[in-house]
Structure 1
């Protein structure tokens, strides 16, 4: 069991009852440094407060901090840890021996985990601001050390203030590490960086900004009020401040000049057993759920054999008060609207494996009956528009609506429904290459769709796309009816996605089913076949109900490929209801990273 899972157990069970890998006789995982995924919408920032009692003259003990660093390296990939920020008071007296020992301890993460360090009042001459001049701290933790990190953005001329720019969840994030007593020139430097990275979400870290009462309610300190007035409240991109120095820990929410929330948090555990024992906080950012989940724990105690933990160690493994373990609701896209990708030309999404690619943004594109939508793969699989009987011009219209990751910023709006014959279809000509392609070596079918909100009427079993051709005519008799087509992508009455396939090899009828698809939201659908079986993805996530039945090739019969409906007995009695964007068919199995959205699934 991973340490991370052990930590989760602390919420449901007393810390003293946790079972570690050591106790279970399992060798702990070796620290590997783990790979950080900057595209994942979920990532973590680790926060390390005052470690001063671990570097206190002849009573120094860096072991807890070494264990914390080892934990962060070991868990970096699993927890997707982007960065570590220290909040100052690295040492107790700021003497050269203390600072050097601390510096040696930090070498464990140098080059393996980006981090920032700032000076607390115990690290330097606390009676002066950042214009104090040289110090043992500056020699050990100044710009010359931090500049080796790829996240390092720069430092103020005095060297006591630094900035880091990290990339996580497909965004850039600015982290300012500001001195215990930042000067006016330091604030001017920080403001200049903010101006250079306008609209970049920003976190301010410093040693002294807020303190808390025993109930955990935080208030700005005198220095904090100055920083608030001169730097924080006027810059709407600052959404979080972190500081140590004071205990107990606490938090509050203040309104900036734009009327938006700024979360002010105090993190300091030097008053706890063993000087806090290198305790850390993980701020887990989740841009899918629009939340920041915070937890506080001591890796040094977590690593101990439970049977050998002392009572104080056991009770300090994890802190669970509402100022130590909590969640914040935060709508990142509303506060920091992401730059939306522009349209991409077909040449960027077509290669020699592309069997067909259709999009609906061509200049002068028509959707009148008989109009042509060109196959941009160059393979000649052009589509012709046809409305079903009893349909009107409004049954099929051009739309500017599109999935954020779609190459074309356009789609078709279908207003189809159950009979009598309402809908529109786009079909290839008989004999087009796609009508006889068997795809024995594998394939990927992709489409963007959006179901209307509200979803009105009965649209059960409407088709998104299909190959015509009765299964029975292909010699396939294993399915629901010999009259259904050999391959179709449909939506059930419960809005479940259904992929039905009669494979070319063997009489097999594997059918995939998704969860209920939401309305009013664009979805990217992908069917991936590796020549052995088919797997369906929605928004890059594999659905659960993918059968293991063999599925090699598609039993095509030379009849048209169709977008907008599924035939039965070679007839179309019901059209699609909603929007359809780009559709691409590739003659090989693609990985999710190769799908059309290119990572843009939100």
Structure 2
């Protein structure tokens, strides 16, 4: 529609009971100020003069003729080219608001919409050549200005572009398309965008009996999502249908699209309209699956976040640009979901103006509209999708895996803390022996720094979500001065003398707490090997005489450091990670194939030594320390945090073989 008329937002023409303004677009153009929100009520759905298409045949491309602004641009679209990746955690839903000025009696001009559809359908034609993995296009209503059959005859030809490509899209009726509520009966809109057309689109789920409301289900990010295209005015039957279709699909996240829910002030602060309040009360607030709503109708664009009955956030957005240059210039908004980052990145731009720029046809006014970058048009939303959807689609926790499944060929030692331990929160007893699950005899025994208070090492059920054993040990170590308890391999453990000449993989799960302090806890180690570089006769330029011959440590800034002395080098080889966050579980792996060492964090490669061959690891036949770190042969730091499963193999494993895989 139209400019805002809700809760303090700017108002324009008065609406009658049908939501149709008495003034017309001609009045708006003549007055150059206030938009008329429809044709006169008597002429909205019939009796208007026939339109004349602009630009002759309607088959010329922009730039081929004298006036690109006066040419239709439709070009053949390849059939069946719609092929988004349903498992990619990054995908895009495109929103197209009010396009009514493109289909307005004798002022038919579909060029901007065609350009937007080309953008949606053609990855190679997008800015930068990026494939945004577009999975759905949602039109927000007011397809036409007057709801005339002649206007839909032009609009349907443009939407044929999507149909030929097999695209997944939804259309809904706005107040310029129809009158009254969804029980209105037959209309030119329904003839054009009714169930017969919708059911041919991928992801079509169902339509309400009246045909004006449609449910779509699409797969993206490895899961199914529902999008509802709802009429501009739901009847009681419409509300009942919408609630029922959500209830019948109780695990699907739901996006609601309709023509009117919220309006916004000039600063982008949105509030529910009176009808939006009805939608909130009758559909949105009690359906926790609804996390995002999108509407047009009013301007300027804006958003708000409301709490539903479950106490969860619902994001409500208004997007409409018909008040801007060229009736909105076919402006679209992309909602780029990134499930890995927990973000939705929103951008607003005109593919048509991009095409004009590429063809050298850009005028000064169009140049301002190529891409909108204000805070209400270009922004990001942080959503913890797993947490937000937990109330209706919880991700089941990964079950623990038995030790025998972790004993891959070449496993030398495997330590876990879920059997034979004490009660969660209880202290590890002085006589505790943590068995090596390989059976090779690389058992761990408790060591305590003199003067350490009780409960310096305790059992816990806390664990990495992908950890095989659902247990760990909490180390309360400190440095400066040093205190704490740690574990150490027994004196005759076979692994103490292992040189790993053919390669190795070290894996550790760990977490640092909120009270971790770089001054007290920095340069502590989750896993290290006793014996100094000096004792091993290492004196190269990268050697530090008093440091241990091997350590998987954390710097004072919580960076992972792999520092080890290979057999074939007189100095150390080192790899580093990015800065890690507190209160978050991490998995670290260092893999060496007998030549190259690589550092992995959560299965992702972070560091390597590609120019210096690293063969094996130096040993002085001394123990491995779990949670302890020696300097100059004496324990100088004890780890502060939680350590889970630890595994050592005598070959380089691939990430798919790691314990977190």
Please, what TM-score do these two structures have when normalized by structure 2?
0.71
Query: Aligned pair in 2 of structure 1 residues 466, 231: CA closer, same or farther (>3 Å)?
Result: same
SS at match of 2:246: helix
Encode CA deviations 1:97-136: one digit per residue, 9 max, x unaligned. Answer: 335413321136525xx4433344555x544515736943
Residue 285 of structure 2, aligned match among 226, 233, 240: 233
What is the deviation of 1:465? 0.6
Larger Rg: 2
Q: Please state how far the C-alpha of 1:550 moved relative to its aligned partner.
A: 1.9
Aligned residue pair count: 558
- Residue equivalent to 1:184: 236
Instruction: Give the Å deviation of 1:281.
Output: 1.0
SS of aligned partner of 2:366 = helix
Once the two structures are superposed, the pairs formed by residues 199-210 of structure 1 within 5 Å of their partners are 201-210=253-262
Distance 1:387 1:182, change over 3 A: same
Partner of 1:554: 616
- Picking from 115, 122, 125, the partner of 1:67 is 115
Where does residue 117 of structure 1 map in the other structure?
A: 171
1:397 to 450, 453, 458: 458
Quote the offset at 1:489 in angstroms. Answer: 0.7
User: How does 1:570-581 map onto structure 2 within 5 Å?
Assistant: 571-581=634-644
Instruction: Return the alpha-carbon distance in structure 2 between the equivalents of residues 423 and 53 of structure 1.
Output: 74
Shift of 1:563: 1.9
Distance 2:289 2:477 in 1: 45
Q: Quote how far apart the aligned CAs of 1:360 are.
A: 1.4
SS of the residue 1:401 aligns to: coil
2:35 aligned partner: none
Aligned with 1:384 (options 444, 459, 476): 444
The answer for the alignment partner of 1:524 in structure 2 is 587
Alignment partners' CA distance in 1, 2:85 and 2:407 = 30
Secondary structure of the 1:404 match is coil
* Cα distance between partner residues in 2 of 1:154 and 1:446: 50
Q: Which of 484, 495, 498 is equivalent to 1:436?
A: 498
- Change over 3 Å in CA distance of 1:365–1:373 after alignment to 2: farther
Contact 2:549–2:618 (CA under 8 A) maintained in structure 1: yes
Q: Cα offset for 1:542?
A: 5.0
Runs of 5+ consecutive residues of structure 1 not aligned to the other structure:
1-21, 23-30
Cross-structure match for 2:397: 341
| Separation in structure 1 between the aligned mates of residue 376 and residue 306 of structure 2, nearest angstrom | 16
Contact map agreement 1:370 1:384 (CA 8 A) in 2: no
Distance change (3 Å), C-alpha of 1:109 and 1:399: farther
Quick check: 2:475–2:640 contact (8 Å CA) kept in 1?
Answer: yes
Report the Cα distance in structure 1 between the residues aligned to 2:101 and 2:144, rounded to whole angstroms. Answer: 7
**Which has the higher mean CA deviation after the structures are superposed, 226-235 or 455-464?**
455-464
The aligned residue for residue 365 of structure 2 is 312
CA offset digits 1:398-446 (Å, max 9, x no partner): 11222333333221011233466742114266453685262635x4433
Cα distance, 1:317 vs structure 2: 0.6
Shift of 1:396: 1.9
- Output the CA distance in 2 between the equivalents of 1:394 and 1:302: 65
What is the CA-CA distance between 1:564 and the residue it aligns to? Answer: 1.7
Contact kept? 2:590, 2:598, Cα under 8 Å: yes
Give, in whole Å, the separation in 2 of the partners of 1:357 and 1:64. Answer: 63
Counterpart Cα distance in 1 of 2:111 and 2:457: 69
What is the alpha-carbon distance in structure 2 between the residues aligned to residue 81 and residue 354 of structure 1? 44
Q: Distance in 1 between matches of 2:240 and 2:114?
A: 36
Per-residue deviation, 1:345: 0.8
2:96 maps to 1:48: yes
Q: Distance in 1 between matches of 2:346 and 2:591?
A: 37
Shift of 1:501: 1.9
1:31-68 per-position Cα deviation (integer Å, ceiling 9, x unaligned): 9978648564x654321223344456786555434433
User: Unaligned stretches of 5+ in structure 2?
Assistant: 1-62, 64-77
- Look up the match of 1:590: 654
Shift in CA distance, 381/483, structure 1 to aligned 2, threshold 3 Å:
farther
Distance 1:130 1:143, change over 3 A: farther
Match of 1:502 in 2: 565
TM-score, normalised by the number of residues in structure 1: 0.78
For the Cα contact (< 8 Å) 1:208–1:223, is it kept in 2? yes
Structure 1 pair 507/305, CA: closer, same or farther in 2 (3 Å)?
same
Provide the alpha-carbon RMSD of the alignment: 4.0
| Structure 1 residue 297, shift from structure 2 partner | 0.8
Q: Quick check: 1:144 aligned with 2:199?
A: yes
Instruction: Choose the corresponding residue for 2:160, options 87, 104, 126.
Output: 104
Query: 2:224 and 2:499 mapped to 1: Cα distance?
Result: 44
Maintained 8 Å contact 1:470/1:570:
yes
C-alpha separation between the residues in 2 aligned to 1:251 and 1:276? 19
- Please give the secondary structure, in 1, of the residue aligned with 2:521: coil
Change in 2 beyond 3 A, CA 1:208/1:341: same
Distance 1:174 1:34, change over 3 A: closer
Deviation at 1:241, TM superposition (A): 1.7
Q: 1:562 to 1:207 in 2, by over 3 A?
A: same
What aligned pairs does 1:248-397 form with structure 2 within 5 A after superposition?
A: 248-254=300-306, 256-257=308-309, 261-285=313-337, 292-303=344-355, 304-305=357-358, 307-328=360-381, 335-337=388-390, 339=395, 341-346=397-402, 351-352=408-409, 356-362=413-419, 364=421, 367-376=428-437, 378=438, 380=440, 382-390=442-450, 391=452, 394-397=455-458
- Residue deviations 1:3-41, cap 9 Å, x none? xxxxxxxxxxxxxxxxxxx9xxxxxxxx9978648564x
1:213 to 1:572, Cα distance in 2 relative to 1, 3 A: closer
Q: Which has the higher contact order (CA 8 A, sep 6+)?
A: 1
Structure 2 partner of 1:458: 520
Following the alignment from structure 1 to structure 2, what is the Cα–Cα distance between the partners of residues 584 and 58? 74
Within 1, Cα distance between the matches of 2:264 and 2:449? 72
Conservation of the 8 A alpha-carbon contact between 2:84 and 2:135: no
